[in-house]
Structure formats: structure tokens, C-alpha cells
Structure 1
């Protein structure tokens, strides 16, 4: 029996795949649980349309990530923070702090979960941060941490 998967099924396939299954498995397990639908010509045409739309959206997201990466790579984020007597910051700078500073200084919105700092930032200096904007696209930019004169 041929079925079109409506969601990812372990050891069978991903959403949108057309797979051959045993008759009982398809009729008694996959279809009642809305994990698949029967591969009729109407359903096959709809699946092809859905796949084309998904590919188009994925290409758009990748293009947007490339554009954002080219803008982010040109940026240097400057942060001024209070420093203790021994030259260390009060606390550490996190990816959330970098994302907020990036948004304030440039208007570029990058999710904090996509920004990685290769080392813990606990003192003034220049650091390189990586923004993973897409599984295939990452942008590096500088973060300059300065001591506040106050």
C-alpha cells in the first residue's frame, strides 16, 4: 500500500514522502493516527504542490539568511560596562546581551539562541561572536567590550 506521510515517522520517512507499507500497517496504524493518507492521484498532486511550496519557502529563508549574514558581518558591536577594581566585569556577557546590543546599535534582529560566544566574556577586550542564521550559513562579527568610566 502506498501512503503519503503527513508527519515524520521513525524508520519510515519524513513528512511529504511517498512510501510503500504493509496493508495492515497503513490502514490500521498510520491512517487512523493521521500520520499518513492514502496515495490517491488527488492526494499525490496535492503532496507535489505542498513539496514545491515548502522548497520555495526554504529557498526564501536561505536567501534572507544570506542577506542578513552579509549585513551582520560588517557590524562591530560596542558595549560599555562597569568594571571592578581588578579589571573584571560585574557578571559575564551572554548571547542575550549581545543580541540586545546588536538590535539597539544596528536594528538587525538576530535571535539570541543563534548567537554563540566562543569563550566566556568576563573582562574588557575584543571578541568574535558567531551568528548561526541558517544550518548552512553563519556570520562572524566583532564584539568590543569597554570599561565604563563611571
Structure 2
């Protein structure tokens, strides 16, 4: 029996793959657990339409991420911190601090998208990368200054 996978299934394949399995395996395991559905002509056409919709959505997301990255490249943020002797910061500059500074500039980003390569523990100018999409990463200049 030919079935279309609804979920990634390690033994068979990825979502949308059409695979041939034994009838009993399909009827008793894959279909009841909604891992797959039967590959009829109508279901195959629906799958192709679904794939087209997913590709359109991904293209829009990529385009939006690229536009946001272009705007973020122009932005520099200032993060005021308390310092001790010899301009050493108490603690480090965190992703949340950078996200808050970006929010003040009008960019509402999730702190988990912000990637700090090495801990920021002193005053200065740092480049912070922000992963907006699988293929798009923006870089923002962060000025760490005395409060």
C-alpha cells in the first residue's frame, strides 16, 4: 500500500514522502496514529497544493527576514552598565539586555535569536549577531558604556 507521510518518521522518510509499506502496517499502525494517510489521487493532489503553499510561506518569511536584517544592519544600540575599578562590568551583558535595547529602538525580537559569541565583560563596541531565519543573520553594533 502506498502512503503519504504526515510526520517525519525515522524508518520511512520525511513529511510528504510517498512510501510503499505493507497493508497491515499502514492500516494498523501508520494511519491510526496519523503518521501517514493513504496515497489516493485526491490526497496526492492535496499534498502537492500543500507543498506549494508551504514554499510560498517560506519565501515570504525569507523575504521578511532579509528586509528586517537590512534595517538591523543600520542600527547601533547603547547599553549602559555599572562598572567598578579599571572599567570592569559587574556581571556580563546578556541577551535580554540587548533585546531590551533593541525594543527601545522599535525592534521586538526574541532574546533566544540573539547570539553573543564571547561574554561581554568590559566597556567597548561589540558586534552582536541575530539569527532571524535559517539563512539570514543580521549584525548589530552594541556600545557598552558606563552608566
Instruction: Provide TM-score, normalisation by structure 1.
Output: 0.92
Alpha-carbon deviation of 1:51? 1.0
Distance 2:61 2:26 in 1: 34
Bigger strand fraction: 2
1:145 match:
144
Contact 2:88 2:121 in 1 (8 A): yes
Instruction: Provide TM-score, normalisation by structure 2.
Output: 0.94
The 5 A counterparts of 1:41-60 are 41-60=41-60
Mapped pair 1:123 → 2:122: yes
The 5 A counterparts of 1:21-100 are 21-100=21-100
Question: What CA RMSD, in Å, does the superposition of the two structures yield over aligned residues?
Answer: 1.2
Distance 1:73 1:12 in 2: 43
Alpha-carbon deviation of 1:21? 2.0
- Superposition misfits of 4+ residues, deviation over 3 angstroms: none
* Worse-superposed segment, 10-19 or 136-145: 10-19
Count of matched residue positions in the alignment of Structure 1 and Structure 2: 147
Contact 2:3 2:36 in 1 (8 A): yes
Contact 1:81 1:146 in 2 (8 A): yes
Distance 1:32 1:82 in 2: 59
Q: CA deviation digits over 1:108-134, x for unaligned, max 9? A: 122111111111011111111001111
Contact 1:6 1:37 in 2 (8 A): yes
Gap runs ≥5 in structure 2: none
1:4 match:
4
Alpha-carbon deviation of 1:85? 2.4
Secondary structure in structure 1 of the residue aligned to 2:12: coil
Secondary structure in structure 2 of the residue aligned to 1:122: strand
